């Protein structure tokens, strides 16, 4: 019989597991880790979704998504570091996927249904692959759960999966509770990761641009609405959606994929909003609008190195030799010397080439949805798949 694993302190005071005589270091979560706060907020929203908001996702789908994310991250970090590290990122990735992804045919109250569970597993695996394989410069470029969700929705297709609705249902008290959790969660988390200015820049830019689209007569169809959503409802359903607030406060606020420079984070938020509004502008369905919002982050994450460089140049970092009189502050060049040569060299690296392909293909395929008749039929409730939703 194999000896059981024993949890014990090491001679250096570090927690370790002793397995067959081998000491394996264990890295437990830190109470100061903002990901614990984020997990608490998302799990609270999951609870509201299951109880008062009528989310069409089962408890089993949520647990399997979290479990797959946690196990994959544990395996990867153990292989790389020979440590058992608390899989905070994997747990968040799985939870985020289950928060947004829906499998057609699952209804609220199907708590232990495994309907479409393979779709959730695919989305989580794609998410973590984007984190561990697409790492130009040694840093993951894309927000993991976002990248996996976009490709799961695009590849699997609207007849099998769909994103959580922008409208969270008729339960006014439940929706108010969700808004309270989201807003208080944002106040609790965003200052900790220094992302509040980014969130404000996104919301201001996005609200203005969606307002322009609403005023110009833009509309969309959604399975939960009788007839097109237009006018003020167009603006409130998109710009003030709790789903969009979750996207801003808890997805694009990931400090690992955002610019590090404060000005860069403001530019990052506004640019993401502008790209999202541009992709939304020709989407006639809610499915297309939601994918447009998610795809915008893929595009802008790919531009983060450029945003970082430009923001540092605009910030005027200090005097340079030969700049003239003392006290004159020089700005870094916005276009670095030898840019064309550096870009050509970088594109020869597999990770960079993969990042470019993902960043271009995601918005292009999202744009194509505007002419997809199947999506329109589903949103109008004219197909069996729509009725299953």
pLDDT at 307 over 50: yes
Write out pLDDT tens, residues 173-211: 999 999 999 999 999 999 999 999 999 999 999 999 999
Query: 264-303: per-residue pLDDT in tens?
Result: 999 999 999 999 999 999 999 999 999 999 999 999 999 9
Residue 322 lies in a domain: no
pLDDT for the residue numbered 345 = 46
Q: Per the domain annotation, does 11 fall within a domain? A: no
Do 115 and 59 contact (CB within 8 A), yes or no? no
Give the integer Cα–Cα distance in Å for 308 and 260. Answer: 7
pLDDT at 346: 45
CATH number at residue 383: 1.10.3430
Q: How confident is the model over 44-64, as a mean pLDDT? A: 97
Element (H, E) at 101: strand 101-103
- Please enumerate, as own/partner, the contacts of 343-348 that have beta carbons within 8 Å and a separation of 24 or more: 346/136
Size (the chain), residues: 389
Instruction: State which residues form the domain around 135.
Output: 18-316+331-388
The verdict on residue 3 lying in a domain is: no
pLDDT of residue 316: 65
Residue 133 pLDDT exceeds 60: yes
pTM: 0.87
**Residue scoring higher pLDDT (25 or 221):** 221
Query: What is the total count of domains within the chain?
Result: 1
20 with 3: CB under 8 angstroms? yes
Q: Evaluate if residue 360 carries a pLDDT over 80.
A: yes
pLDDT tens digits for 333-353? 555 555 444 444 444 466 677
Task: Evaluate whether residue 4 is within a structural domain.
Answer: no
Look up residue 256 and give its two tokens.
């690992």
Q: What is the pLDDT of residues 73-106, one digit of tens each?
A: 999 998 888 888 999 999 999 999 999 999 999 9
Q: Within its chain, how far is the Cα of 31 from the centroid?
A: 23
């Amino acid at each position: 019989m194999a000896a059981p694993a024993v949890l014990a302190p090491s001679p250096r005071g570090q927690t370790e597991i002793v397995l067959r005589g081998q000491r394996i270091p264990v890295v437990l979560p830190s109470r100061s880790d903002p990901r614990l706060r984020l997990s608490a907020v998302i799990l609270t929203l999951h609870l509201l979704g299951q109880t008062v908001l009528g989310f069409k996702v089962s408890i089993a789908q949520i647990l399997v998504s979290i479990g797959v994310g946690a196990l994959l991250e544990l395996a990867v970090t153990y292989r790389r570091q020979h440590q058992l590290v608390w899989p905070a990122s994997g747990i968040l990735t799985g939870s985020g996927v289950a928060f947004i992804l829906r499998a057609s045919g699952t209804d609220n109250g199907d708590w232990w249904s495994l309907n479409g569970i393979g779709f959730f597993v695919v989305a989580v695996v794609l998410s973590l692959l984007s984190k561990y394989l697409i790492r130009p410069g040694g840093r993951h470029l894309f927000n993991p759960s976002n990248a996996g969700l976009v490709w799961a929705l695009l590849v699997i297709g609207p007849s099998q999966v769909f994103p959580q609705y922008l409208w969270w249902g008729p339960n006014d008290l439940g929706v108010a509770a969700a808004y309270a959790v989201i807003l208080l969660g944002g106040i609790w988390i965003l200052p900790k990761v220094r992302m509040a200015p980014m969130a404000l820049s996104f919301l201001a830019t996005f609200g203005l641009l969606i307002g322009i689209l609403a005023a110009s007569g833009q509309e969309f169809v959604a399975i939960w609405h009788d007839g097109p959503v237009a006018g003020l409802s167009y603006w409130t359903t998109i710009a003030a959606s709790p789903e969009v607030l979750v996207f801003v406060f808890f997805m694009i606020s990931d400090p690992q994929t955002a610019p590090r420079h404060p000005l860069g984070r403001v530019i990052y938020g506004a640019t993401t909003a502008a790209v999202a509004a541009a992709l939304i502008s020709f989407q006639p369905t809610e499915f297309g609008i939601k994918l447009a919002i998610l795809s915008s982050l893929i595009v802008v994450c790919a531009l983060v190195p450029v945003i970082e460089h430009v923001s540092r140049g605009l910030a005027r970092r200090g005097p340079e030799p030969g700049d003239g009189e003392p006290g004159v502050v020089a700005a870094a060049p916005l276009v670095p010397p030898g840019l064309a040569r550096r870009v050509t060299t970088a594109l020869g690296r597999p990770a960079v080439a993969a990042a470019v392909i993902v960043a271009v293909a995601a918005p292009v395929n999202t744009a194509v949805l505007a002419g997809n008749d199947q999506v329109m039929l589903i949103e109008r409730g004219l197909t069996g798949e729509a009725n299953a939703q």
